[in-house]
Structure 1
Amino acid sequence: MPLADAEKKRRMISASARAQPMAPITTAFPTTATRDFQVRDLSMDVLIAGAARALASGDPFAALNQVALRDDAPALALRGIAMAQLGDFARANALLREAARAFGAAHPVARARCVVAEAEVALASRDLAWPEKSLAAARATLAAQGDPINAAHAAYLQARRLLLLGRLDEASLALADVDALDLPAASRAVHELIAGGIALRRARAQEAAETLARAEHAARQSGIPALMAEVDHAMQALHAVAARQVTPDGARDLTLAEVEALLASPALIVDACRNVVRHGAQTVSLASRPLLFSLARLLAEAWPKDVTREFLIARAFRTGFQDDSHRVRLRVEIGRLRAALQPLAAVTATPDGFALRPHADVAMVVLARPLDVADRDHAAVLACLVDGQAWSSSALALALGASQRTVQRALDALAASGKAHALGHGRARRWMTPAVPAFTTSLLLPTLMPGQ
């Protein structure tokens, strides 16, 4: 084809790609899937090898210059990876599926690599319902056929998905299955990034700092700008405001390291980020009992003083009108709270209302969310949206373990307050946040407990 026509085609592709949002998770596209089609089991020409090298260095435009007009299986796969790097996930999926079909059963390794690349496209586009068994089968094929780099990356995708779903123990196990010492620098950076993300979600600031420092070193060794940017974003989350400490003397912002120190202190903590009450190793979860937690927080914020019955009714029941039925209901709920908190504290009656008294002679503090979102469901949804990706309501429901109706109500409320906005209509509708806030979301996201 004449060079002028090829250049025209390249410009059309570049213009289309620039209209798409850049994906924040682009590590696999330039680091592993691009190695999938090297000269191992297929006879490839110079253009294919050049496109693979371009994608490995994070340059999708250079790769498209090499293979944009080709429809053979390796070229289709590389085009799909390039479009994924550029953020056109729908086109990337179509190309990768077409490539997998073109490779056929005669090339199981190449097909498995296409599955891994397609799984990363799904993860980057926050499609969390993709078949996990397909990725596990692809990982097994790659490991058996002597492709440890892409087998490791398949494990990383599994761990990332589990991390998004709040299944931290399972994510840790998936990560522990991979020995990253002999992997390339980019793969080591991804490994440490995931480990750092797990530590952030567990509020382990020191562990997160150590893993992210290793991730930064490996990312710089790889020389991939997108990977270095992702590590930098994680480092910013480590040092951003994670929560607020509320005491009778006022409130102050806390970093994740300060949260970790507070959780290790002897204080009785009413944790409004997780809706639990904790003292040392003892924890009472009120996550499924929001009214009881609201009462516990109101009593803790007033400690060591008491709280009047009228104030408790107005704030916990959210009503300006009070009668005898409200006072009866308050007594019932206080009784339930007293029973729930019995291992940690006592709820005592006073002439004017009620007071919360720790069994031990310790201080009491409230650990509050770092942003002004009253509803816990709203805060969790916003915490997902601030990753910069476009989420569907179904993906949010899956990630948060909530019903789609609950998530939709939260999205509507966030949209009304200007904290979120929608793109598209119907089943193609996606939600984003207009700006990235200056706080870390690790304490806002739900974590599944064993057995859930």
Structure 2
Amino acid sequence: MDSLIALAARALAAGDPLGALKRIALRDDAPALALRGIAMAQLGDLVRAKALMRSAARAFGPKEAVARARCVVAEAEIALASRDLGWTAKTLDAARATLEAHGDRANAAHARYLVVRRLLLIGRLDEAERALAGLDPTPFPPALRVAHELVVAGIAMRRLQAKTARAALARAERAARHAGIPALTAEVANASLILDTPSARLIASGEDRLLLLDEVETLLASKALVVDACRQLVRDPGTVVSLARRPVLFALARALGEAWPEDVPRDTLVARAFRAKHADESHRARLRVEMGRLRTVLGTLGSVSATKRGFVLVPRAAREVFVLARPVEDKHAAVLVFLADGESWTSSALALVLGASQRTVQRSLDSLAAAGKVQSFGRGRARRWLTPPVPGFATSLLLPAPLTQ
């Protein structure tokens, strides 16, 4: 390694991409291409960074297996940061195996973290936890320990475990200070901000207020009956009933929960569940059928009783009933939540994380664009969508880890 390459590498490790480019910007040899790719990634030009990393991988000879493997890991990192989630783990696993075989444990571990972060991003928490369980961050450099703790915090946030998330972010902050990289410190601070901004809305007796993640955790651990509109289920500490695939029943349960301990008029329930402007006898008959189904589904959680003007929710063991909703409710709220991380997304990546068809996601994006809530750039498969984060509200996403390792 020549002196300019060594100096550029040290600059990148310290979070100084401009300092690195001053030394290697005009060079086209394989090591310089790789370092330029990392520098461009740090500066946010992910398209150029990806092209440079591919060029570097081709430029390294067949005898330079470790260097080629590092380029593969860097390209996967760039793909993750640019929300290109269509890649498989096979190529990355092969690169990781090469790095481990040649003793490069830090970069091999970084490859593992990329896999875990992708699993976290697409909502496969159980798999992410299993993959993370085999990683001990103790012997790794501070920057890699920050990545580990951010993943731990991201999983804990998704699990609504605020204390675990705060502890992980505290460890991440200490590791970031030790690393001395300003971008890492800022990223940990941004992730910590999620815990100090509203993550849900509590509705009770017709009034509502915003809740932090800690308060959501406390609510779900209480003895109250909670109608969870974020996950479309009804729960108490001992029982969880999912209504995600029964939207009519959930609409009725939510309406009853919002009005508790009062009853809800039949016409109001018809409008909420069936979206009918005027209730006729057929709607009322259907309402009676659906209420019977709701009684059966709730089981030990509660019952539904008829009153003179409508129906009322009667919890069996709980003394209170609350409705937990998203901070901001919009027809396309799910799409906005993912776009709120500030990254640019393709419609195919959004479809993957949402579990919806790409056409459905595209219709939502077109509607949001018409309303001025999102913007796009590029054309065809290169078209990407983004929006600034929603001010004052947390998202469920873990911010991307640093691009340098």
- Normalising by the smaller structure, the TM-score range is over 0.9
> Counterpart in 1 of 2:402?
none
Answer yes or no: is 1:400 the counterpart of 2:350. no
> Counterpart in 2 of 1:65?
22
Note the residue ranges of structure 1 that are not aligned, 5 or more in a row: 1-43, 445-452
- 2:104 partner amino acid: D
Answer yes or no: is 1:290 the counterpart of 2:244. no
Answer yes or no: is 1:302 the counterpart of 2:259. yes
CA drift at 1:193: 0.8
Secondary structure of 1:348's partner?
Answer: strand
CA drift at 1:325: 2.4
CA drift at 1:417: 3.8
How many Å separate the matches in 2 of 1:329 and 1:393? 38
Kindly indicate whether the alpha-carbon contact (under 8 Å) linking 1:276 and 1:287 is maintained by their aligned counterparts in 2: yes
Kindly indicate whether the alpha-carbon contact (under 8 Å) linking 1:273 and 1:443 is maintained by their aligned counterparts in 2: no
Secondary structure of 1:241's partner?
Answer: coil
Q: Identify which of 183, 193, 196 aligns with 1:236.
A: 193
Kindly indicate whether the alpha-carbon contact (under 8 Å) linking 1:243 and 1:443 is maintained by their aligned counterparts in 2: no
Identity value in percent: 64
> Counterpart in 1 of 2:212?
255
Deviations 1:301-358 (CA, angstroms, capped at 9, x unpaired): 1111211111111122222122222223222322322222123111222222211111
> Counterpart in 2 of 1:22?
none
For these two proteins, the number of residue pairs brought into alignment is 398
Answer yes or no: is 1:388 the counterpart of 2:342. yes
Q: Identify which of 420, 423, 428 aligns with 2:374.
A: 420
Relative contact order (C-alpha < 8 Å, sep 6+): which is higher?
2
Deviations 1:231-278 (CA, angstroms, capped at 9, x unpaired): 000110011111111111611111111111001000000011111111
CA drift at 1:79: 1.2
Kindly indicate whether the alpha-carbon contact (under 8 Å) linking 2:223 and 2:318 is maintained by their aligned counterparts in 1: no
Q: Identify which of 302, 316, 335 aligns with 2:292.
A: 335
How many Å separate the matches in 2 of 1:206 and 1:348? 39
- 1:47 partner amino acid: L
Kindly indicate whether the alpha-carbon contact (under 8 Å) linking 1:309 and 1:352 is maintained by their aligned counterparts in 2: yes
How many Å separate the matches in 2 of 1:336 and 1:113? 57
How many Å separate the matches in 1 of 2:69 and 2:166? 34
Q: Which moved more, 1:202-211 or 1:318-327?
A: 318-327
1:307-322 matches, within 5 Å, as 307-322=264-279
Deviations 1:204-233 (CA, angstroms, capped at 9, x unpaired): 111111000000110111111111111000
How many Å separate the matches in 2 of 1:437 and 1:173? 34
- 2:239 partner amino acid: Q
- TM-score when scaled to structure 1? 0.85
> Counterpart in 2 of 1:436?
390
Deviations 1:394-418 (CA, angstroms, capped at 9, x unpaired): 1111112121122223323333443
Q: Identify which of 217, 235, 241 aligns with 2:174.
A: 217
> Counterpart in 1 of 2:31?
74
Secondary structure of 1:106's partner?
Answer: coil
1:93-242 matches, within 5 Å, as 93-242=50-199
Q: Which moved more, 1:189-198 or 1:67-76?
A: 67-76
- TM-score when scaled to structure 2? 0.94
Tell me: CA distance 1:332–1:104, structure 2 relative to 1, closer, same or farther (3 Å): farther
Q: Which moved more, 1:423-432 or 1:144-153?
A: 423-432
How many Å separate the matches in 2 of 1:331 and 1:408? 37
How many Å separate the matches in 1 of 2:183 and 2:364? 31
Kindly indicate whether the alpha-carbon contact (under 8 Å) linking 1:307 and 1:353 is maintained by their aligned counterparts in 2: yes
Answer yes or no: is 1:359 the counterpart of 2:316. yes
> Counterpart in 2 of 1:40?
none
Tell me: CA distance 1:178–1:93, structure 2 relative to 1, closer, same or farther (3 Å): same
